């Protein structure tokens, strides 16, 4: 079984995307053998009022009869925007969304913002995961209108160190980390907290090219298949798993990566 924990529908304002509807994603899943995808609306990265995007996703799922039960929706919430508590409540309890995706850089707040801490604690108490993304697109191709966290400049893209402060603030929440395109290293003082935290990292990011070694240092429960579709190609995240040698990951470990870790994390 294959569960993709990192997919989207919706638009990216600076480039035309293919396969960015529930229907098109579903066809992609069928073609490449993916059973279930965790999705959110990319429009929520850009709408000031993210709840409009969550509602759009809900409506699209309702209309996508062929695929809706294979798509697990997450809500995009901005914790410094009016009404976010109610939006979160509505998304989880009325729209059936199973987790939260957060975009501090795009929504312009700090990783230790009190509102974010409150949101993560609420998610923890509701039993749903929160998700952070290293980057949505490779910053070297960024549009002049995009955010200016750019690789190899004094204001670089994020790495795990940028996310660690919220994990320290709420160590007992469930965290998904997506598109790990940069370092997974944390400061020495944070290593114990990170080790104990319930953190699931998807395989779409380029840092996962050496997943064979990472399984040894981080453990086999830490990672799960993800595509970052439709921004990244649909197969590389899977190829990182399937090309592992037996000495690096036996069949049982590969099954954890394909779906076992995601099932445990999502409680399905």
Partner 1 sequence: MNINRRKFVTRSAVSAAGILLGSHLKGMAKAEGGEEVSLSKPKKYDLMKDVMKYRKIDAHAHIYFTNTSPEEQLDAGERLGIDKQVISRYLSIMPGTPEQFREYNDLTIKAIKKYPKHLLGGFVLNPHYKKESLDEIKRCTDAGMIGTGELYYQTKISDPLYYPIIEKLIDMKMIIFSHAECQLGVGGYRMKYNGNKEPNTSIPEDFVAIAKRYPEGMFQYAHIGGGGDWEYMCKMLKDSPNVYVDTSGSNNDENMIDFAVEQLGEDRLFFASDNSYPQSVGKILASNLTEAQKKKVFFDNYNNLLKKGGRNVD
Binding site for partner 1 (CB under 8 A): 1, 15-19, 29-36, 58, 61-62, 65-66, 68-70, 72-73, 94-96, 98, 137-142, 144, 150-154, 181, 206, 209, 229-240, 242-243, 245, 263, 266-268
Give 37 or 78: the residue with its C-beta nearer to partner 1.
37
Three-state secondary structure call for residue 72: strand
Give me the residues paired with residue 262 across strands.
Answer: none
Nearer to partner 1 among residue 187 and residue 242 (C-beta): 242
Question: Which residue number, 48 or 94, has a Cβ lying nearer to partner 1?
Answer: 94
Neighbours of 251 (CB within 10 A): 8
> What do you get for the CA distance between the two ends of the chain, in Å?
13
Q: Please report how close the Cβ of residue 219 comes to partner 1 at its closest, in angstroms.
A: 21
Residue 117 beta carbon to partner 1: minimum distance, rounded to whole angstroms? 27
Q: What is the largest CA-CA distance in the chain?
A: 52
* 31 versus 195: smaller Cβ distance to partner 1: 31
| Token representation of residue 5 | 């924990």
Between 39 and 167, name the residue whose CB sits nearer to partner 1: 39
Rounded to a whole number of angstroms, the minimum distance from the CB of residue 239 to partner 1 is: 5
Q: Considering the complex, what minimum distance in angstroms separates the CB of residue 63 from partner 1?
A: 11
**Cβ burial, residue 175 (10 Å; 0-12/13-18/19+):** buried
CB of 246 to partner 1, least distance (A): 11
* Min separation Cβ 24 and partner 1, Å: 11
Minimum distance, C-beta of residue 15 to partner 1, in the bound complex (Å): 7
Residue with tokens 């996508």: 64
For residues 111 and 160, which CB has a smaller minimum distance to partner 1 in the complex? 160
**φ/ψ of residue 164, rounded to 5:** -55, -35
Which string of DSSP letters, residue by residue, matches 152-190?
A: TSSSPPP-HHHHHHHHHHSTTSEEEEE---S-----GGG
Task: Give φ, ψ of 117 to 5 degrees.
Answer: -60, -45
Q: Which is nearer to partner 1, 136 or 164 (CB)?
A: 136
* Cα separation, 43 vs 41, whole angstroms: 5
Q: How many CB atoms lie within 10 A of CB 153?
A: 11
């Amino acid at each position: 079984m294959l569960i993709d924990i990192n997919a989207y529908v919706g638009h990216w304002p600076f480039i035309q995307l293919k396969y960015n509807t529930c229907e098109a994603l579903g066809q992609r899943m069928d073609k490449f053998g993916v059973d279930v995808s965790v999705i959110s609306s990319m429009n929520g990265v850009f709408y000031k009022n993210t709840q409009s995007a969550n509602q759009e996703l809900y409506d699209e799922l309702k209309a996508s009869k062929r695929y809706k039960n294979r798509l697990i929706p997450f809500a995009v919430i901005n914790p410094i925007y009016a009404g976010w508590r109610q939006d979160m409540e509505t998304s989880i309890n009325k729209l059936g969304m199973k987790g939260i995706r957060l975009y501090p850089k795009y929504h312009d707040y700090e990783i230790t913002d009190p509102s974010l801490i409150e949101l993560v604690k609420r998610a923890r108490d509701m039993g749903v995961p929160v998700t952070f993304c290293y980057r949505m697109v490779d910053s070297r191709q960024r549009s002049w209108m995009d955010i200016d966290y750019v690789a190899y400049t004094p204001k670089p893209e994020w790495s795990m160190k940028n996310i660690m402060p919220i994990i320290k603030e709420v160590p007992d929440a469930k965290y998904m980390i997506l598109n790990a395109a940069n370092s997974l290293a944390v400061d020495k003082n944070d290593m114990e907290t990170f080790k104990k935290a319930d953190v699931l990292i998807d395989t779409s990011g380029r840092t996962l090219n050496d997943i064979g070694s990472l399984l040894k240092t981080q453990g086999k429960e830490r990672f799960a298949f993800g595509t970052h579709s439709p921004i990244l190609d649909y197969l590389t995240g899977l190829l990182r798993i399937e090309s592992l040698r037996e000495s690096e990951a036996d069949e049982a470990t590969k099954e954890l990566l394909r779906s076992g870790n995601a099932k445990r994390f999502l409680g399905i």
